[in-house]
Structures are given as structure tokens and as C-alpha cells.
């Protein structure tokens, strides 16, 4: 049985899930994606999941607009547990997750954020970085805690901000690193290499 | 006459000044250091300046402990102007500079900070980064404005945070990049390549 049993939650194209699928199919990540859940009915991540014969489902998060809470949270947890998931991967899931999910998968919910946290938390962080005039940008894979983009950091990758960058060109450059960073973080988890001490993640290599 | 006439202000060892001296002596930076001022009587930066035959002077900032203000500020400005300085380089100068200095050298006061701003402003930022559990750290050369470590960014360089890092080992790794970043930023300035738009520095290459 693969080391990690991943539930992937997304709202968009699922390009980060793709990088994980690719790592699994290439044999460089000892994991299995046991379910893919989307809060957007026509999210491309569901099509991707179908193409790779992964169990997938749209599950509404109504009546909430920006969080996963209440009955919807219960339903997500129920489906993920039923699928035997032990780790939750937020791959472009555009909602705040709440304590219920964190309690159901303690220290097992991972998120990727397109900035070098603690700089530029929140939305459109590549645009925040451009507007700030940062000359280095990047991405962060972290354990999710009760805050927003505040949990213990597993992997960070940086990219240069180039003269003439648009939000789109910078975002695209960051995404290349996201697709390296997420499988790397999961590889550490699969190898039981991570320990969390306070808010610091130690990596045994 | 060299393009830039630099006044260097420091409180410590002056290793950042050394990197600028080295670049000038190697012919890769079209600049001259016209005076070196320290607010600490026995700061090593003064010895370094002496070794390179640079005009240097201890100038007390009393009665202030953490800022350059009042009569002391006036005296610093007077000395730098008398030396023909057109650019002020804060190279480990452990004081907040005030509006009077900024007005005397508009958009010509540069600082280096040992973090990827806006992350970890303030003191001991390499220790802040370690305590936060950041996996990437770095340094920032920026124009100084009225805030603390908040001015428009010219150059940023990143370094990995390694498992087992101490504050000292991380600081040393960042300093290697500082010694690349500061001459690079001054090279852009010497080439008239920088324009400030809002808080974004554009670099013409």
C-alpha cells in the first residue's frame, strides 16, 4: 500500500494536483490520490481527475462563500475518511478551512501559497509582490493551522521578479516552482521525515 | 571623476563596506568612497577605512541611542556634503535615520537589510526567520524612506535555510549574498539605471 493516501481539494485547474499525479506516476512519490473534491461544479481539476481515473466529486459548500464549514465540512470529512485518506492536500482550494477539518486530520492538511510567507499572505499574492516592488517572489508549502497562510512551513522556493513582469508572467514563473515544491513536501511526509516543533518544521534527510 | 561619490555610515565591522571597496578596486563599480562615518568610536569599519586610505571619522550621535537626529544629524550631513558625497550608504549603521538626512540626499540613501522584506523587518531578522521556520531567507538593498525597512527595493537575494542552522550560520550565509547585492545595487545607481515609480524600482538593463 502506498505510504500516503491523499485527498485533494481544489477549485480551479488542478495544475498542482497534476504535479502530484506526475510524481506518483513517475514513481518518485510513494502516494495514492484516493479522492478529489471540488467546490466548483465545472472545475477543471475534476476533468483532470477523470482523465487519470481518480475518484472525484463536486461537493457544494453552500451556504458559505469563502469557507468550508458546517454541514459541508462534515460531508467533505465523511467522504475523505470513507476513501481512506490520511492526508489532505489543498491544491488551489479557494476557501478557508476550519478547525473541524484540522481536527479530523491533525498535522495532515497541507496548502501551497504563491508567496514567500510570511510575506504576502491572502489573495493574489503575486500581484501583491509586484505592487510592493519585491525583487524576489516564490511559493510556500505549509501545514495548515487555524490562521490564514500562517502554518508551519515545509518547503519554500524562490523566483526572481523580472523587469517588465505582469501579474500573469510572475504567476506563471511561481507556478513552475509550485509544481516542484508540492511533490517535494509530500515526499518528506511520505518518508516520515517531518517533525513539527513549535512552528518550525524539521526535516530529517 | 567616478560616477558615484559615496558616504558610508556604519556601526560595526564594515564587511558590507568592504564588498563595495573590493568592487571599486576591481574596477566593477564606478564609485568613490569620499567619507566613512561611524557612531561607535572603536567600530572596526574605521580601521578598515584606514587600511584603504579612506577619509574616516567617529561622530557621536549622543544624546540619541537609536536614531540619527538633531545636532548629530546636522553634523553628519555637514561632513558628508563637505566631502562631496552624493549618495549615502548605510552599511550596518544601527540607527534609524530621520527626514533631515533623507531631505539632504533625496532618493540617495541606501540600506541593506538581512531579510527578504517585507518579511522580517527590524532587528536580528535572520533569527526571526529561523524562529518563524522560514525555509528561504535572504537580503534586501533598498532606498530608505521614512519607515523602518520599508523603502523601495532595488535588489533582493535569497539563500536556503538549512536543517541545523543556527542564527550564526544562517547570518553568515546571508552575508555572502549581502556582499554581492550591495555592489550590484550601486552598479545600477552608477549606471543611472534606476527609476522609482510609487514604491517600485524599475531597472533599465
Cβ within 8 Å of residue B28, ≥6 positions away: B183, B187
d(CA A73, CA A67): 9
pLDDT of amino acid B80: 98
Whether cis (ω within 30° of 0) applies to the bond prior to A117 is no
Question: What share of chain A has pLDDT > 90, as a percent?
Answer: 96
Q: How far apart are CA B135 and CA B42, in angstroms?
A: 36
Q: pLDDT for B30-49, tens place per residue?
A: 999 999 999 999 999 999 99
Most B-contacting residue of A115, A125, A127, A133 (CB-CB within 10 A), to test interface: A133
With bands split at pLDDT 50, 70 and 90, how would you rate the model's confidence at A2?
confident
**Confidence check: pLDDT of A205 > 90:** no
* E-state strands within chain A: 4-10, 31-38, 56-58, 67-68, 87-90, 96-97, 109-113, 136-143, 153-160, 194-197, 200-203
- pLDDT on residue A37: 98
CA distance A51 to A42: 15
pLDDT in tens, B181-205: 999 999 999 999 999 999 999 999 8
Reported as a single tens digit per residue, the pLDDT across A90-135 is: 999 999 999 999 999 999 999 999 999 999 999 999 999 999 999 9
Using the structure block, give the residue that is written with the C-alpha cell 511561481: A174
Question: Where would I find the beta strands (DSSP E) of B46-146?
Answer: 56-58, 67-68, 87-90, 96-97, 109-113, 136-143
> ∠B149-B151-A133 over CA atoms, to 5°?
115
Q: Is A78 on the interface with B (CB under 8 A)?
A: no
Query: Is A144's pLDDT higher than 80?
Result: yes
* CA angle A6–A9–A12, rounded 5-degree value: 135
Concatenated DSSP letters of B148-165: SS-SPEEEEEEEEPPTT-
Query: Mean pLDDT, chain A, as a whole number?
Result: 97
Q: Using one digit for the tens of pLDDT, what is the confidence trace for B52-64?
A: 999 999 999 999 9
pLDDT band of residue A1 (cuts 50, 70, 90) is confident
pLDDT confidence bin for B73, thresholds 50/70/90: very high
**In this predicted structure, what is the pLDDT of residue B205?**
81
What ipTM is given for this predicted complex? 0.94
Interval B18-27: pLDDT, tens: 999 999 999 9
Check pLDDT > 80 for residue A191.
yes
DSSP A162: P
Question: Which residue on chain B is closest to A164 by alpha carbon?
Answer: B202
Enumerate the residues of chain B whose CB falls inside 8 A of the CB of residue A158: 116, 136, 138, 158
B2, pLDDT greater than 80: no
Residue A115: per-residue pLDDT = 98
pTM over 0.90, yes/no: yes
Report CA-CA distances (Å) from B184 to A159, B53, B121, B160.
Answer: 18, 23, 21, 20
Strands (E), A73-197: 87-90, 96-97, 109-113, 136-143, 153-160, 194-197
Tens digit of pLDDT for each residue in B132-161?
999 999 999 999 998 888 999 999 999 999
Beta pairing, strands B194-197 & B200-203: antiparallel
Per-residue model confidence (pLDDT) at position B117: 98
Interface contact flag, B156 A136, Cβ < 8 Å: yes
Q: Is the pLDDT of residue A47 over 90?
A: yes
Which residue is listed with cell 508567496?
A: A115
Q: What is the pLDDT of residue B63?
A: 95
Q: Contact B12/B92 with Cβ under 8 angstroms?
A: yes
Average pLDDT value for chain B: 97
* Site from B133, B170, B193, B194 to mutate, A interface, most A CB atoms within 10 angstroms: B133
Distance from CA of B195 to the nearest CA of A (A): 12
Each residue of B89-127: pLDDT tens digit? 999 999 999 999 999 999 999 999 999 999 999 999 999
Distance from CA of B53 to the nearest CA of A (A): 35
Which residues have a Cβ under 8 Å from the Cβ of B137 and sit 6 or more positions away?
Answer: B114, B115, B116, B126, B129, B158, B159, B160, B161, B170, B173, B174
Q: Cα(first)–Cα(last) distance of chain A, in Å?
A: 23
Residues 34-53 of B with CB under 8 A from A: none
Amino acid at each position: 500500500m502506498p505510504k500516503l493516501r491523499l485527498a485533494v481539494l481544489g477549485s480551479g485547474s488542478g495544475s498542482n494536483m497534476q504535479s502530484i499525479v506526475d510524481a506518483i506516476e513517475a514513481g518518485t512519490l510513494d502516494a495514492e490520490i484516493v479522492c478529489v473534491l471540488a467546490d466548483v461544479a465545472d472545475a477543471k481539476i475534476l476533468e483532470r481527475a477523470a482523465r487519470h481515473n481518480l475518484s472525484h466529486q463536486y461537493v457544494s459548500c453552500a451556504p458559505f462563500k469563502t469557507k468550508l464549514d458546517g454541514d459541508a465540512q462534515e460531508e467533505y470529512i465523511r467522504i475523505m475518511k470513507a476513501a481512506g485518506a490520511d492526508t489532505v492536500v489543498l491544491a488551489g482550494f479557494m476557501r478557508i478551512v476550519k478547525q473541524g477539518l484540522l481536527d479530523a486530520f491533525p498535522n495532515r492538511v497541507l496548502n501551497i501559497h504563491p508567496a514567500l510567507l510570511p510575506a504576502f499572505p491572502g489573495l493574489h499574492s503575486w500581484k501583491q509582490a509586484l505592487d510592493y516592488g519585491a525583487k524576489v517572489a516564490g511559493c510556500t508549502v505549509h501545514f495548515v493551522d487555524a490562521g490564514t497562510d500562517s502554518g508551519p512551513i515545509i518547503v519554500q522556493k524562490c523566483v526572481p521578479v523580472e523587469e517588465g513582469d505582469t501579474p500573469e508572467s510572475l504567476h506563471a514563473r511561481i507556478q513552475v516552482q509550485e509544481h516542484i515544491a508540492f511533490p517535494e513536501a509530500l515526499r518528506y511526509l511520505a518518508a516520515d521525515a517531518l517533525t513539527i516543533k513549535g512552528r518550525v518544521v524539521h526535516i530529517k534527510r
